[in-house]
Every structure is written in structure tokens, then in C-alpha cells.
Amino acid sequence: MREYRWFDVPVNRKILVAYLVLAGLYAISALISPSFRTFVNFKHLLLQTTPLIIVGVAQSLVMLSGGVDLSVGAIMSLANVVAVQSWKGMGNIGFIYLFLIPLGLGALAGGINGLLIGKRNLPPIIVTLATSSIFWGFALLLMPTPGGSMPPSLALILAGGSLVPTIIFCSLVFLVTFFLQFTEAGRGIYVVGSGEEVARLLGINIIRVKVYTYALAGLITSLAGIFMAARMFSGDPMVGQPYVLDSMAVAVIGGTSVNGGEGGVLGVIGAAFIFNLLNNILNMLGVSTFYQFVAKGIIVIAAVAITQGSSLIKDQNKTLS
């Protein structure tokens, strides 16, 4: 994978591919349907894509460390459910709780993942699958059926227009990229993801890296949960369900390798838009929503197959099994 240097800072070139594809898709959509060109449609797409970008960033972080997080849907739902309830009766400053408590919970949940995976060395797939069940259980416990609400003014600010969401996901991507590129802790994730044996030889504390990676991912995921609460104007314990597979797809399309150690979050924005845009195109063409499940699966398979293909060509030293 070629790296594109920007003031000596490593930036993954694959990311550009995502944006090119996106531009192309956008052009096609605009040509196909006049209604697409309206601003309303754009706003709708933006709001739809924002949570996907957020979980995509979280999943990218985890994948960079060489793992996977199947509990993103659960953490998102938990945060969502907590958000719509935490501000009740807290008066004017309630909105602080609305943010702090879910975010704290998300970080805690992620931290638990990280500890189990890092310290006890259990495989990420099974750990996050199990914690997914646990966190979802808690979400259902707190709110068995959709309900709750949000302070209307806050909801409007967060999810009413298109400016604030854009600021949210742009600054998130910017901050995480900054973290990954300019801090020792961030680079540590890349080293651990590339190979734990080497990381250990280099004296890196693998447990610590995994804990803060998953904790950070949990924190970010809960942000998506809060956003959805604002958008839906209520809480839903199953809100995170479609996002588990999608987050993995978006991470991969955005340039992060499933094996870890390569990639970044800059491409997530483009990848998420591509994803939703493809679905929107299908909608516009009058294809029933059922086909979107099929389409989603095919897109994921295709995206991963393509990225796997290019990285395999580089592996000249490995036995071709």
C-alpha cells in the first residue's frame, strides 16, 4: 500500500479511491433522478449517514489493532436508551448528563471488551459476541420497548439541520486521525495491529493498547447512539442492530485492512456515503427495500474481496496456501 505523504505524516492512499468512487456515484445518481438533486434529499442522506460514519470510525480503530468489535450495535443501543432517560428531571443542565452518562457507559463497555481481549487473551470475535449479548440485554432492561424522549431544542440542534451533523462527523474523523497520526498511543495501535509478537519485542504494553482502543471505540459508538436519539426523537433498544455489519464494511471500504496495522479513518466518510448512496439509488430505481439486504451483503463481499486481493499481491514471502 502506497502512502501519500502530507508534511511527512503517513496518510493512506487507498482512502482517495473511496472518494473517487463516491464522486462517481453521486454524479450517476444526480443524472438518474431529478428529485435527487434537491437539498432535502441531500439533508436526508446526510442524517442517515452520520451514525454510520461514527460507528465506522469506531470499528476502524478496533480493526487497526487487529481485532473486531461485534458489540458496536449493542453499545450504540445502550447509549441510545440511556441518553433518552438520563436527562429526565435534571432540569436545565440535564443535557450534560444526556451526553456524559452514555459516553461514559460506552467507554466503560469498550474498556471491558479491551480488558477481556487484551489481558485474558481471548479471541475478539467470541468476546465481543458475548458482550454484545450482555450490553443488549442491559439496553432491553432499561427500555424494553421504544420510548423516552429528548429535550426538543437539543434534538433539533443535533439532528434538525445538516450543519451540526456535518461538524460532528468531520471533527470526529479529524480528531481520531489526529490521535492516530500524532500521538504515541495512536501509533501504538498500528504496531500492535501489525503483529503482536513484534510489538512485544519492541516493548509495547499490548494490554494497555487494546484496552484504550476498545474503550475509545465504545466511547465513539455511544456518540452514534446519542445522535440517533436526537434524530428519532426517542429511544429504541434495537436501534443499533443494522450497524454491526455495516460498520465493518465501512471500515474496510474506507481503507482499513481486516488484518490490522494498515489503514485509517479518513476514508470512512466516503465509504459510508457510498454505502448509503448505493441503497438510495436502489430506492430511486424503485427496487424494494428487501433487495437492499441482498445488495448490502454483496457490496460487503465485493469490497472486502477487492481489498484482500490487492494486499495479497504484496505478500510475496508467504506460502500460497
* Binding to another protein in span 272-301, by CB under 8 A: 288, 290-298, 300-301
Among positions 190, 214, 243, 273, the unique one binding another protein when judged by CB under 8 A: 190
- The verdict on 9 binding another protein (CB under 8 A) reads yes
Give the binding range for another protein (CB under 8 A) out of 7-15, 146-154, 221-229, 267-275. Answer: 7-15
Among positions 34, 89, 91, 203, the unique one binding another protein when judged by CB under 8 A: 203
Instruction: With residue 9 as reference, give the H or E element that holds it.
Output: strand 9-12
Q: For residue 316, how many other CB atoms are within 10 A of its CB? A: 7
Among positions 91, 201, 286, 313, the unique one binding another protein when judged by CB under 8 A: 201
Contacts 24+ apart (CB under 8 A), 87-94: 87/150, 87/151, 94/151
Q: Phi and psi of 11, rounded to 5°?
A: -135, 135
Q: Note whether 174 and 269 are within 8 A (CB).
A: no
Q: Note whether 27 and 222 are within 8 A (CB).
A: no
The smaller minimum CB distance to another protein, of residues 21 and 304, is found at: 304
Among positions 24, 88, 100, 133, the unique one binding another protein when judged by CB under 8 A: 133
Q: What track of x and - describes contact with another protein for positions 30 through 69 (by CB under 8 A)?
A: --------------------------------------x-
∠212-217-220 over CA atoms, to 5°?
125
Q: Note whether 89 and 98 are within 8 A (CB).
A: no
Query: Which ranges in the chain belong to alpha helices (H)?
Result: 14-32, 39-64, 72-86, 94-118, 124-142, 152-159, 163-182, 184-194, 196-201, 206-232, 243-253, 268-284, 290-314
Question: Minimum Å distance from CB 201 to another protein?
Answer: 5
Give the binding range for another protein (CB under 8 A) out of 48-56, 166-174, 196-204, 265-273. Answer: 196-204
Separation CA 102–CA 97 (nearest Å): 8
Q: For residue 246, how many other CB atoms are within 10 A of its CB? A: 22
Give the binding range for another protein (CB under 8 A) out of 34-42, 148-156, 169-177, 313-321. Answer: 313-321
- The verdict on 308 binding another protein (CB under 8 A) reads yes
Cell 452514555: give the residue: 102
Site for another protein in 138-177 (CB under 8 A): 138-141, 144
All 3 cell numbers of residue 236? 429504541
Among positions 27, 163, 182, 285, the unique one binding another protein when judged by CB under 8 A: 182
The smaller minimum CB distance to another protein, of residues 138 and 227, is found at: 138
Among positions 132, 222, 247, 279, the unique one binding another protein when judged by CB under 8 A: 132
Give the binding range for another protein (CB under 8 A) out of 152-160, 188-196, 214-222, 227-235. Answer: 188-196
Q: What track of x and - describes contact with another protein for positions 91 through 120 (by CB under 8 A)?
A: -------------------------x---x
Cα radius of gyration (the chain): 19
The smaller minimum CB distance to another protein, of residues 91 and 314, is found at: 314
- The verdict on 267 binding another protein (CB under 8 A) reads no
